[in-house]
Amino acid sequence: MTKYIFITGGVVSSLGKGIIAASLGRLLRARGFSVINQKFDPYINVDPGTMSPFQHGEVFVTDDGAETDLDLGHYERFTDTNLGKYNNVTSGSVYRHVIEKERRGDYLGGTVQVIPHITNEIKSRILGATKQFKPDFQLIEIGGTIGDIESLPFIEAIRQFKVEAGIGNAISVHTTLIPYLPTSGELKTKPSQHSVSVLRSYGIQPEILVCRTSRAIPKSEREKLALFCSVPKEAVLECRDMKSIYEVPLALEEQNMAGVVLKMLMVEDRVPDLEGWKNLVEKIKHPSGTLTVGIAGKYTKLSDAYISVVEALKHAGCKNDVKVEIKWINSEECNDYKNCRELLKDISAIVVPGGFGVRGIEGKLNVIRYARENNLPFLGLCLGMQCAVIEYARNVLGLKGANSTEFDENATYPVIDLMLEQKNVQGYGGTMRLGAYDCSLKVGSRAYKAYGTDLISERHRHRYEVNNEFIERLFDAGLVFSGMSPDGMLAEIVEIPKLDWFVASQFHPEFKSRPDRPHPLFDGLIEAACKQAKSKGILK
């Protein structure tokens, strides 16, 4: 029978609830239990797919093509479990479903209300995921902060669910902040006490407290929290700020978080296998050198916009025994090619990630040209691949008007064009080519060697594609199409074999990278960059 763990947050937002939920998932997985994480987001958007990365950070894409919250990326990376559309629930999707049912007449003329109709739908989303995955543990994180008006239906649904599940089958973990006041030199517990009392006023008594803090919480303060919040002492846990998010599971393990959770859920504890994770953290903490990798995009002011790319680079760095330092390059600053040398001179590799719209495109083309002409290891992702094709067409094939019809509808040479299946698509939400598709690799190519197989599956999120009319000409000019959809109709990977690493994919490899299993294309990029850095004496 599945056991349920609800994770709420109090005092402030951005506490890292997602990392804590993912870390607890890791600790349970390390004990051989199956785990899924779910994220409940109280906003009205049906999914984050239509939101600006500046507002919401990256949109994480699952195998089944759901556009989801970036926390699902953390969950997948920490628990090594592929999630899907049932794992992210928004108020928008809940209300939409209930309103559709009402319009169909399913409620037989009854008044449709937040309680019970909306709360029932929320509970059915919990059970829907249980039915699909049948996990030993289901961890459900509620976005936002306790006290927010918009998350109330979710909190009420949890209250009901906990009662219905019965004692020992569902618990809640409340994550709070313990601020440090420099003037008095003290850590303060009062905001957490207030936050717990708000949660209690909704009928939820948390079983566990996870206290985010910048410094060690003295025993006396922990005891105070236990007393005032009615939580056992061993269930008041501290989660200090850490250099790497991958250290969090180990810090929580030291305080026996999983042991406490299992006891409350009346499940016998098992000996965890955290050896691999400990090795990973050791490698992250003690790299043999540092490698600077550039990311050239237009959302560089908010690093969350490219979080899976950043994590994938870190994973590959760890495998190659280097710390990857990111240099954010605002592509608009590269609109003039002359700036590229200065901006890219101290980096060992460059990534051009995905994106939408014309802003910053000329800069990305210049960055790619610089990488190609100077043998700077390059990885292009989705839009990054489309730009690599445009750049090659313009500067190697000499097709001066080459462009994507996304940026210029009347391009003289539309080397990137809207996919046929997209031509009649109406509306924006969930209408791109989304999720996992197979791709055949050309035997002997860079991609083939990196993956070690000729058939792969990768996640997509795009409307445009390489225009097949130009493939032959590009190929004759030296651009190898090393990955194609199995029917040969869609270009999925391009590469330039004579360079050390110049590979770009139409899909998003970053979504499938795992801390202990870096994605082959990221690994290839970092390996090539390390080799170059060693030969230049930058790395030992």
Is 464 in a helix, a strand, or coil? strand
Locate 88 and state its tokens.
């992210």
Is 401 in a helix, a strand, or coil? coil
Residue 404 C-beta: closest distance to ligand GLN, Å: 7
Q: By CB under 6 A, tell whether 382 contacts ligand GLN.
A: yes
**Residues 390-449 contacting ligand GLN, CB under 6 A:** 406
The crossing angle, in degrees rounded to 10, of helices 383-395 and 361-374 is 70
- Find the radius of gyration of the CA atoms of the chain: 25
- For ligand GLN, the nearest residue by Cβ is 354
With 0-12 / 13-18 / 19 or more C-beta atoms within 10 angstroms meaning exposed / middle / buried, residue 35 is buried
Q: By CB under 6 A, tell whether 53 contacts ligand GLN.
A: no
Q: Which of 7, 209, 349, 383 binds ligand GLN (CB under 6 A)?
A: 383
Residue 140 or 388 having the CB closest to ligand GLN: 388
Only segment of 247-255, 282-290, 349-357, 516-524 that touches ligand GLN (CB under 6 A) = 349-357
Residues recorded for the chain: 540
Nearest one of 146, 234, 238, 151 to 197, comparing CA atoms: 146
Q: By CB under 6 A, tell whether 509 contacts ligand GLN.
A: no
Q: By CB under 6 A, tell whether 462 contacts ligand GLN.
A: yes
Q: By CB under 6 A, tell whether 63 contacts ligand GLN.
A: no
Residue 320 or 505 having the CB closest to ligand GLN: 505
- Helical spans, DSSP H, in 269-306: 275-285
Locate 33 and state its tokens.
């239990």
- 510 as an active site residue: the answer is yes
Residue 432 C-beta: closest distance to ligand GLN, Å: 6
Q: By CB under 6 A, tell whether 328 contacts ligand GLN.
A: no
Cβ-contact 416, 404 below 8 angstroms: yes
| Nearby residues of 136 by Cβ (< 8 Å), 6 or more positions away | 2, 3, 28, 33, 34, 35, 267
Residue 216 or 489 having the CB closest to ligand GLN: 489
Catalytic residue among 74, 174, 508, 519: 508
One-letter amino acid at 497 equals P
Residue 9 or 354 having the CB closest to ligand GLN: 354
| Nearby residues of 394 by Cβ (< 8 Å), 6 or more positions away | 365, 400, 402
Catalytic residue among 238, 510, 519, 527: 510
With 0-12 / 13-18 / 19 or more C-beta atoms within 10 angstroms meaning exposed / middle / buried, residue 167 is exposed
Residue 85 or 462 having the CB closest to ligand GLN: 462
Q: Which of 42, 354, 360, 363 binds ligand GLN (CB under 6 A)?
A: 354
Residue 360 C-beta: closest distance to ligand GLN, Å: 12
Residues forming contacts to ligand GLN in the complex (CB under 6 A) are 354-356, 382-383, 406, 461-464
Catalytic residues: 382, 508, 510
